[in-house]
Structure 1
């Protein structure tokens, strides 16, 4: 059983910006594989994790979740969107204003 957990952690770590700690956070939310993130709501995942941990969590994790859901949900990726810091609230606000 530990072997499966390790393998799923390795798969999750193929997502840009996701390391061991974030992979563990995702597993706490029932996310075991990249495909489990397809079409998920990053804000809902972040809120669920915050509630589960019982304490505030760095907002940067939300940005990583946004990037991870994008990665899992698309077959072709814009290289700039594979950088978690481009998913910050301010960056998204600027991009939407330009549209």
Structure 2
């Protein structure tokens, strides 16, 4: 588990043992807001979505790679936990957080 603390929340990212935090392209995260609520998301880069869809085209999954979906998914442009944290901070600051992440403490 890789933890990041900001003024708005604490995030617990769940990288694989061999992943480097600066190059992570797909990761699950739990976010504990300062108000005590807990949220989750799967954060994935646009490049990784393309890779997954190409693999699915070959395996026949998701209508031969015709679409991509994942529950509580956020697609980001840039890899790395630092970049992903910046997106989460922006979502909290704009108030879009509750529309994008999945609340898990209810």
Task: Compute the TM-score of the two structures, normalised by the length of structure 1.
Answer: 0.33
Task: Compute the TM-score of the two structures, normalised by the length of structure 2.
Answer: 0.32
> Which one has the largest radius of gyration?
2
Instruction: From the two aligned structures, give the one with the greater strand fraction.
Output: 2
